[in-house]
Structure 1
């Protein structure tokens, strides 16, 4: 029914010769597509003029379900902190006109908030899945008088703030991972260069290792590096890029098997506990176990 509503709404703006005519502005397009929760946040933040301006701009509008699915504490923070709300909403706007038919994987689009929106394209399953900072674009390229609207599957939050290594450094739940990265001298690699995906074991995950294992690793740097690079994938693999019963290759050349069950993502025998944490040089997924390279068993 929702899709029928979208088709009917779009038909209102198409003349008999198929040319888009008398288009509403971005606010009107969002309203016609039923993005009511997004517009409510826009009104609460006093940002309606952003969607009613002359443009051109591209707006990434989360669905109602995406906004209502935010954790209660996040919704409460957005409701009570107008500056944070404005920052989050501004991250969903760009003065670049982005059309998903001309995407380039890993392209960066500067947002009005200041941080870049990362565009990714994943070829499996068909058709190609296109994401904006991990949020799948589910209704593409809706033309408005002052720009283009892209409807996305989730709110792009938290905002990317710092590199992979900076995230690890500042997260008290990743203190053991931080120690191992520093010991292996991999901080620079996780701060520069091409985009990466880090599968980040929590402190609790490291505590599950057999007694003495961590000490042994800290005294064997080549082996420690091998283990850490088994947790890193080249490129930005948001959860939308993981496909059930497939595999990806880690930077140590090891194979990571992906399983998706009941909405949970498993990488080998580790479960992703928090997915899609955007950073300036890729994405981080928190996992509940340390991944052990097969070479360790030989």
Structure 2
């Protein structure tokens, strides 16, 4: 009962006389009376001080000490991104030593190799080599067609899917397309290896493989005709000529009742589509029609 009176006294002491007067004069008088009534019924909980102290000490003994570390995730992500960028830059600087050159349809490209050798890439071709090992082994890989003017020095090797070409210092042309492989020497000596068979070509000589048939050919030109914006053929199947027309003019050629295995000898220009088509179709007595980027070859009918 003494504890209850103490609580009530505390309550009355906390309210100043002016507060009580104000409350009595306000509409909250009933509220005040209710608070006084209910507070008189409050009973303080019984607490065993010694037992509480022992429980607190025991809790501190069994609870492991923990540390709370606050992380700023934005900072973490920024640092991680910087590390990834630095590692990527290091990789490309020290490990990615491959040089790659490519040409698109109707495009040629001239380039210089690390030893100052000159290469001209024909349309739709690619050339790759390792610049780190170039001084020791002048090796490169060709997909398509290219003309090489090689500086004298270590052995120079051109790798293709159809064969390998090796020289010391010379000028030569390599053409590797679907079912077609051709190497022509314009200066010096060229060694060609195809399916474990090797042949040496002197100036004016060529090596050709069409549909797995090997043929040695003669050449009287000083450079490939395609470097002068022309494509020349000597007894070449029409399907190979059609493929070259498509590469040089970015067109699609369809055939109707035409024998694409018939042989063609001649030249077409890279500068005028109609002139080029006439150069191919007239000797073979073929007609053609153009619709957008599609050209159709069909059998010529005499009137």
TM-score bucket of the superposed structures, by smaller chain? under 0.3
Q: Which has the larger Rg?
A: 2
Q: TM-score, normalised by structure 2?
A: 0.25
Query: Greater relative contact order (Cα 8 A, min sep 6): structure 1 or 2?
Result: 1
Q: TM-score, normalised by structure 1?
A: 0.25
